[in-house]
Amino acid sequence: MAYSDKVIDHYNNPRNVGSFDKTEDNVGTGIVGAPECGDVMKLQLKISDDGIIEEARFKTFGCGSAIASSSLATEWVKGKTLDDALKIKNTEIAKELNLPPVKLHCSVLAEDAIKGAIEDYQKKRQKA
């Protein structure tokens, strides 16, 4: 299958690869797996006290489309409020990357990982 230029670019030069310490209380961690293929994506957000996403990191064990989707997601969430980050749709990611139908679930992984990371952060805050 042919990957789009944007997928190849993110695959070759992934943005924001890495990890934050997930025990820090300003860090939210989302880990999601794709039942379709077994790929796993971890996405972490560093969030300021006033609810702005300052930085994002990801590690993805998966296909090129999943890596590109998570790389793009880390770029898109940066500087956003949590509410705005929650509005990012997998369909927007898929459109930006020209993902073919069989690769749509790779972008779903990225949307779910953002939501998971925000949920994790909010849970931590409630406990604090």
Structural tokens at position 125: 């805050």
For the bound state, the minimum distance from the C-beta of residue 13 to ligand FES, rounded and expressed in Å, comes to 18
77, 56 contact by CB (below 8 A): yes
Is residue 37 part of the annotated active site? The answer reads yes
Pick from 24, 36, 54, 75 the residue near ligand FES by CB under 6 A. Answer: 36
Binds ligand FES by CB under 6 A, chosen from 17, 37, 86, 104: 37
Contact residue for ligand FES among 17, 34, 52, 86 (CB under 6 A):
34
* Annotation marks residue 63 as catalytic: no
Min separation Cβ 108 and ligand FES, Å: 8
Which residue of the set 34, 37, 52, 86 is catalytic?
37
Exactly one of 63, 73, 82, 106 is catalytic; name it: 106
Q: What are phi and psi for residue 50, nearest 5 degrees?
A: -90, 20
Q: Nearest distance from residue 69's CB to ligand FES, in Å? A: 8
Judged by beta carbon, residue 39 or residue 120, the one nearer ligand FES is: 39
Mind spelling out the 3-state secondary structure of the chain? CCCCHHHHHHHHCCCCECCCCCCCCCEEEEEEECCCCCCEEEEEEEECCCCEEEEEEEEEECCHHHHHHHHHHHHHHCCCEHHHHHCCCHHHHHHHHCCCHHHHHHHHHHHHHHHHHHHHHHHHHHHC
Residues of the shown chain interacting with ligand FES in the complex, contacts defined by CB under 6 A? 34, 36-37, 39, 62-63, 65-66, 103, 105-106, 109
